[in-house]
Amino acid sequence: MNQSNPHKLIVGNWKMNGSLAGNAALIQDLLIGWPKSQASGRVQAAVCVPSVYLTPCSGLLHHSAVDLGAQDVSAHEAGAYTGEVSAAMLRDVGVRYVIVGHSERRQYHAETDQLVAQKAQKALAVGITPVVCVGETLLERQAGQTADVVKRQLAAVIQLNGHCVSEIVVAYEPVWAIGTGQTATAEQAQEVHDLLRAQLKAAVSMHERICILYGGSMNAGNAKSLLSTPGIDGGLIGGASLKATDFLSILADAEAVSKV
């Protein structure tokens, strides 16, 4: 249960930030600091960009060591769903990962566990890896409900997607740690990662280890300690992914930790 994953996945979530020129500059700095020629293969990197910037970023990231991700996907395949972007469209422009169930979407767009599960299903159907976010609010933690909440959120995805769940990435993101500067301790994160891993193992008989990321105020200062915690397979990084030096520092920490 507690063994460390020798591979790490570091995913940036740019949220609703950026501009054509700013993204190009950020990506240029990332690709200089994280060149494909030097990538060991132990650390995978991706950035999840606003949908309007997917196409230009896809061009900039083409053949690089940084994969392209989206921040949301429609639960529908196609048709009269004004404003939505389908999984097939994301694949069309070179998307490799899509975040589903981020707490900001659960909170501000009333996304339910079932909707999140459907979004994961649509992504899986076209070969895009859904990064399924789960996490408790501060009130839920204080009420001792953390385990129940994250297990309920993950159970919906498992129930709808069956054995395909072996293809997802899970991100444990305590809501109280997102954008607050208040990171979960390594022990708090490990405890939740362990129970999510147990839930996944019980749900699908598989030999493969499902990647479980930690997210919530991970930054250049705390990444090494979090990433070296058994059970934490990488990070979903919000604020710190907007500065190339910070994101590169986290990637370097992931690389160092994956060597041990």
User: Mind telling me the catalytic residues?
Assistant: 102, 173
Which of 203, 216 has the CB closer to ligand PEP? 216
Identify the CA nearest to 225 among candidates 254, 194, 195, 246.
254
Q: How far is the CB of 120 from ligand PEP (least distance, A)?
A: 16
Give least dist CB 108 to ligand PEP, A. 13
Query: What minimum distance in Å lies between the beta carbon of 15 and ligand PEP?
Result: 6
Residue 57 vs 203, nearer CB to ligand PEP:
57
In whole angstroms, give the CA distance from residue 102 to residue 131. Answer: 9
Residue 10 or 57 with smaller CB distance to ligand PEP:
10
Binding region for ligand PEP (CB under 6 A) out of 82-90, 171-179, 185-193, 250-258? 171-179
In this structure, the number of other CB atoms found within 10 A of the CB of residue 96 comes to 19
User: Among 195, 255, 257, 186, which residue's Cα sits nearest to residue 218?
Assistant: 186
Work out the burial of residue 260: count CB atoms within 10 Å of its CB; fewer than 13 is exposed, 13-18 middle, 19 or more buried.
Answer: exposed
Residue 36 CB burial class (10 angstroms; 0-12, 13-18, ≥19): exposed
Distances from the Cα of 13 to the Cα of 10, 38, 64, angstroms: 10, 23, 18
What is the closest distance, in whole angstroms, from the C-beta atom of residue 235 to ligand PEP in the complex? 8
Residues 1-30 that bind ligand PEP (CB under 6 A): 13, 15
Q: Which residue among 30, 157, 238, 255 contacts ligand PEP (CB under 6 A)?
A: 238
What is the per-residue binding string for ligand PEP in 189-228, x denoting contact by CB under 6 A? Answer: --------------------------xxxx----------
Tokens of 52: 């309007």
Comparing CB distances to ligand PEP, the nearer of 34 and 172 is: 172
What is the spatial distance between Cα 91 and Cα 4, in angstroms, rounded to a whole number? Answer: 31
Query: What residues make contact with ligand PEP under the rule CB under 6 A?
Result: 13, 15, 173, 178-179, 215-218, 236-240
